[in-house]
């Protein structure tokens, strides 16, 4: 427990997941109203100041509650920022699950896949300040020397193999598959065996390479 948590009485907090579409958090009516009031105050401050400049003190003051209440409700600043993303995430999910084609049902799978990537890029960029505020390591994660070396190595191998196009961007995408957070999710949380992960990597890479002559 850190000093900030100790001063507010909050328990050590693990950032919660974004709410899945159709699965809102279960809470009492009064708790839901309090949550909505806190999020409204935070959202207004984000619009006025930008997410990076919003503090828990400012949100508590705007909502007319004690800071301890805010920490108990959301755990920490990242938890608050992630809660603010819930509404936008639900709208985004509805687009590709039940929305009109080509993003939603009614178009072919390839066309939907292309539309999904574009929609995801737009969604992330539209809410980029919140995503960065919800993940304090986001801006630094890809700039550490080890990560940059891996991208450079993969890009070099792609060029040596004769891959056309933007090999630097392709290398970033390929390295995304190797993200330790993703691998932890797939292997530990989802139970995918190592052999399946390795086979998936082989398929992913093979499809990028030129056909043998």
| pLDDT tens-place string over residues 160-170 | 999 999 999 99
Domain borders along the chain are 33-134, 142-206
Q: What is the DSSP letter of 54?
A: -
Q: Which whole number is the average pLDDT over 120-125?
A: 88
The answer to whether the CB of 24 falls within 8 A of the CB of 90 is: no
| pLDDT tens digits, one per residue of 131-188 | 777 776 766 778 878 889 999 999 999 999 999 999 999 999 999 999 888 999 999 9
> What is the rounded distance in angstroms from the CA atom of residue 187 to the CA atom of residue 87?
29
Q: Structure tokens of 35?
A: 């949550």
Instruction: Give this prediction's pTM.
Output: 0.60
> Torsion over CA of 170, 173, 174 and 177, rounded to 10 degrees?
-170
Q: What is the mean pLDDT of the chain?
A: 83
- 173 CB neighbour count, 10 Å cutoff: 13
DSSP string, 127-161: THHHHHHH-TTHHHHTTSHHHHHHHHHHHHHHHHT
Q: Which whole number is the average pLDDT over 77-82?
A: 86
> What is the rounded distance in angstroms from the CA atom of residue 80 to the CA atom of residue 133?
9
C-alpha distances (whole Å) from 156 to each of 150, 161, 163 are 10, 9, 10
Q: For residue 90, give the nearest of 24, 8, 28 by alpha carbon.
A: 24
pLDDT category of residue 18 using cuts at 50, 70 and 90: very low
Q: For residue 77, give the nearest of 59, 65, 90, 50 by alpha carbon.
A: 59
> What is the rounded distance in angstroms from the CA atom of residue 88 to the CA atom of residue 120?
12
pLDDT category of residue 208 using cuts at 50, 70 and 90: very high
Under CATH, which number does the domain 33-134 receive?
1.10.357.10
**In the predicted model, is pLDDT for residue 89 greater than 90?**
no
CB under 8 Å to 15, separation ≥6 — which residues?
A: 75, 76, 78, 79, 82, 134
């Amino acid at each position: 427990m850190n000093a900030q948590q100790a001063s507010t009485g909050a328990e050590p907090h693990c950032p919660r997941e974004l709410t899945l579409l159709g699965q809102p958090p279960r809470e009492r009516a009064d708790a839901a109203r309090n949550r909505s009031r806190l999020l409204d105050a935070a959202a207004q401050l984000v619009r006025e100041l930008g997410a990076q400049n919003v503090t828990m003190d400012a949100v508590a003051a705007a909502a007319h509650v004690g800071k301890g209440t805010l920490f108990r409700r959301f755990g920490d600043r990242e938890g608050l920022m992630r809660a603010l993303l819930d509404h936008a995430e639900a709208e985004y999910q509805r687009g590709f699950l039940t929305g009109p084609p080509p993003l939603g049902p009614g178009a072919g799978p390839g066309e939907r896949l292309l539309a999904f990537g574009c929609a995801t890029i737009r969604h992330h960029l539209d809410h980029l300040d919140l995503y960065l505020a919800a993940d304090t390591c986001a801006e630094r994660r890809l700039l550490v020397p080890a990560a940059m070396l891996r991208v450079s190595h993969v890009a070099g191998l792609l060029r040596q193999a004769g891959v056309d196009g933007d090999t630097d961007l392709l290398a970033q995408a390929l390295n995304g598959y190797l993200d330790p957070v993703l691998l932890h999710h797939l292997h530990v949380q989802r139970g995918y065996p190592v052999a399946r992960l390795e086979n998936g990597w082989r398929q992913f890479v093979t499809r990028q390479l030129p056909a043998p002559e």
